[in-house]
Chain A
Amino acid sequence: MARGTKEKKKNALLSGLREIGTTFKEGDIKTRLSYFIFGLGPILRGQILIGVTLLLCEVLFIVYMAAFGWGYLSKITTLGTTLTHKVGRKTVYGDNSFLILLFGVLSVFAVMALIAVWYLNVKENRKEELLLKEGKTLPTNKAVFMSLFDENFHKTLLAIPVTGIFVFTVLPIAFMILVAFTNYDKNHQSPSNLFTWVGLDNFKNILSFGTQGMGSTFVRVLAWTLVWAFLATFVDYFLGLGVAMLINKKGIKFKKLWRTILVLTIAVPQFVSLLYIMRLFAPDGLINGYLIKWGLIKSYIPFWADPMLARITILVVNIWIGIPYMMLITTGILMNIPEDLYESARIDGASGWQMFRRITLPYMMFVTGPYLLTQFTGNLNNFNVIYLLTQGRPQSMSLKGNAGNTDLLVTWLYKMTVNETNYKMAAVIGIMVFIVTAVVMLSVYNRLPSVRDEEGFQ
């Protein structure tokens, strides 16, 4: 199967190349000229709209490269060599490694885009020629334009989203992946200093377990990240399910009221509620204050200062955040469980607990499996809860790189970017987060009951 697709792809590539060849061989002069001047063929054949668009792409590319892109692209192998220096007391900035890398990457994308446009251009010529040869007429410009609202409507719909994602997601991610292979940190900061390629040094650093390497810190932060994501997902899930069942119990009144109270936590912006809760658990916060006042404890409980306690407190606060979502979701699904399943179980004399284990739970797990998975990966990157509550603290002598005991990989990444300007290691950690997420996704997704057996409960 896998080999089949590979083969297919290879064939597609070959036939694509062959088509470029035959188009040139069998094409008329208009087509052949189009190989160099994009869209010339369509323009001459009256397809102004398509032709001009193609030509515009080429012109823009040339202008971009000549005036801007090439200057950066040509330096991408060294990331700049001219140092910043002084003339008198004036500062003359040298090469900016950051911009060289950023626009170098953009230029590479531009070249790839040009090749793709060129290929489309060739195909368009071929299509038109074949149509004319068969004696058919080409669609009018108006028809071509109108097709953007009908059979080509997806191009209109997706043009802006795809461009936006390209510029603000794809380009930055490509850039940051490359940063992981440079020495871009506080000692090599643009624009005053240059940075350059260092190969795999940063990856070696994060995977080395000596006294200098970050290996052991990375493993510890990763372990807590996984434990956190697991507990935050499943504890909240079951408690949320429990609360939902309580509220939906027959004979319980004011269902809407209970739900509304819980839902408040979703409505109030988290930076307000979490910062308040952070202070609530502080040594001189309300909770410690009251406990001391009532004589329950002698000295304050270090909710945020003790590593273990801090982790537990975060998990508890996260329950406060998480239950309402889970309650909402599970309520909807609980109502969908066919009542007759319970009826027949009751006739068989099943207890409440047995019904929960045999009917409710399997049904819920089946339906919400994929959701739990996304929830899990979301928790792997749950920045707000951790950062607003502890900023990853408390720190510890045994953790390197400014990491704290409650840091997730993402909060660690954030602190490295903002506090340490250690961009190279931040990039490496970012790639690690990606790998972890991808591995979890891939290994779990195919084992989900609802994916494996789509008919199961229907």
Chain B
Amino acid sequence: MKKRLVSVLMAATVLATLFTGCGGKKSDFGSGEVKVWVADNVVDFTNNQINEFKKAHPEFDGYTFNVEATGEGDAAGNMITDVKAGADIYVFAQDQIARLVSAGALEEVEPENAKKVKAENDAGAVAAATVGEKLYAYPITSDNGYFLYYDKSVVKDPSTLEGIIADCEAAGKNFYFEANSGWYQTAFFFGAGAQLSYETDDAGNFTKCNASYASPEGVVALKEIIEVTSSKAFKNGSAISNATDVGAIVDGTWDAEAVKEVFGDNYACSKLPSFEGADGKTYQMSGFGGFKLLGVKPQEDENKLAVCDALAEFLSSEEVQLARYEAVNWGPSNLKAQQSDVVKADVALSALADQLQYTIPQGQYPGEYWDLAKSLGDSVIAGEISAASSDDDLNKALSDFQTTCESYAK
């Protein structure tokens, strides 16, 4: 009997918490709290910028801004788990955008801001922030791509993959490439000429899949991956801090500082190499060009939405992008910022820029794709698919892969 009493009491408490809501209003924009999620290493930077923002906008006095460390990787997952408890403004990698839109975790960019964003950022970044016809996010970086870092004393000629691996093997150093990642794998598949892209509608649903992995090009790419992974110099991975005895690593600009420390005077960067396919032709490695985006969550209060819009616009503006580059080396997506002298002088960003002409701006991919690609990579590394596999086996693996990819679009 007692237990029932308590359970009813508990329910009553639930009820009470539902009725207590927001407090009173202060200025025109009211008051409230804006929660911002960024990666751990830019928390301080973001706080400083927000202070600037507050100085420039005294009308938003009533609002407090809380910056919390939630990396781009976790942000999307956390937002989707509980949209209402999630951040009001958050940074995420663009491959998550469709998922976020369909879960109702992204508000469309305000029309005025949208015009500005489209005019000032590079086309790839704008495309990445667009779902269907609508712009859903503010690009802040255009550096989510990868290229080659290498040790000059080990790798003599970074232009061919075969040469790099041979040099690493000879020196007893490791060549790091994350073969079981859907993001890095495309360097081979797209490089060989295979295709994989999706179309989405405005609500973030996948409507169509354009894939040609099950093709002679796909087989060339897969064979090359098999060959690379079978080298004794090969190590699967792309994080410099977890790497040991690195001769060369395919990694992105976010690791530039760390790589510099590891290689010291022998630090060098280059676009990705070319490789000689099993068919005897030479292919340039390709891959994704990616972007970090800033999103605003749908709001139940128009005033707060206005504050969020203004802050997101500010945090993605030219000045802040440049300042962010100077603080943490994130390569800007803003066209003017890209042309500034400091950015142009950066070795890693130049290598990335060289590579960009061969890459494909990363559009929308369903979350399952990344898992599927991980499975494919794991199968190769584990030797389930190996050099011993017949062409039929490879074709079957690729056509399974492609069919599964196609099944994600409805």
Contact = CB atoms under 8 A, between A and B. Distances in A.
Interface of A: 53-54, 56-57, 60-61, 63-64, 67-69, 84, 88-93, 103, 106, 109-110, 113, 116-117, 120, 155-156, 158-160, 162-163, 166-167, 186-187, 189, 191-193, 211-212, 279, 282-284, 289, 298-300, 302, 305-307, 393-397, 399, 402, 404, 418-421
Contact of A289 (B104, B108, B244): B244
A106 B109 CA distance: 39
B231 to A, nearest CB: 8
Contacts of B300: 90-93
A397 B376 contact: yes
A448 to B, nearest CB: 33
A193 B305 CA distance: 21
B408 to A, nearest CB: 12
Contacts of B400: 397
A167 B10 contact: yes
Interface stretch (B37-45, B52-60, B78-86): B78-86
A69 B11 contact: yes
A60 B4 CA distance: 10
Contact of A84 (B104, B379, B381, B397): B104
B220 to A, nearest CB: 19
B7 A113 contact: yes
B367 interface: yes
B184 to A, nearest CB: 15
Contacts of B25: none
A420 B372 CA distance: 13
Nearest to A309: B382
B245 A60 contact: no
Given A89-B107, A189-B83, 18 more contacts: A53-B1, A60-B5, A63-B12, A64-B11, A68-B14, A110-B8, A163-B7, A167-B7, A189-B103, A191-B104, A193-B104, A284-B242, A284-B245, A395-B180, A402-B371, A419-B77, A419-B367, A421-B77
B110 A89 contact: yes
B80 A421 contact: yes
Interface residues of B, number: 63
A109 B245 CA distance: 62
Given A192-B104, A299-B232, A396 B379 contact: yes
B364 to A, nearest CB: 14
B378 interface: yes
B84 to A, nearest CB: 6
B235 interface: yes
Interface in B127-160: none
A60 B12 contact: yes
B2 to A, nearest CB: 4
Nearest to B81: A421
A395 B374 contact: yes
A262 to B, nearest CB: 30
Nearest to A298: B232
B375 interface: yes
B298 interface: yes
Contact of B15 (A68, A89, A93, A279): A68
Contacts of A155: 1-2
A337 B6 CA distance: 49
A279 B241 CA distance: 13
Interface in B182-221: 205
A162 B378 contact: no
Contacts of A396: 375, 378-379, 382, 384
A162 B3 contact: yes
A289 B243 CA distance: 12
A433 to B, nearest CB: 22
Interface string B228-240: 0000100111000
B104 A189 contact: yes
A394 B80 contact: no
A283 B246 CA distance: 13
B244 A284 contact: yes
B3 A64 contact: no
B37 to A, nearest CB: 17
Given A53-B1, A191-B104, A307-B382, A395 B6 contact: no
A418 B102 CA distance: 17
Given A67-B15, A68-B15, A402 B1 contact: no
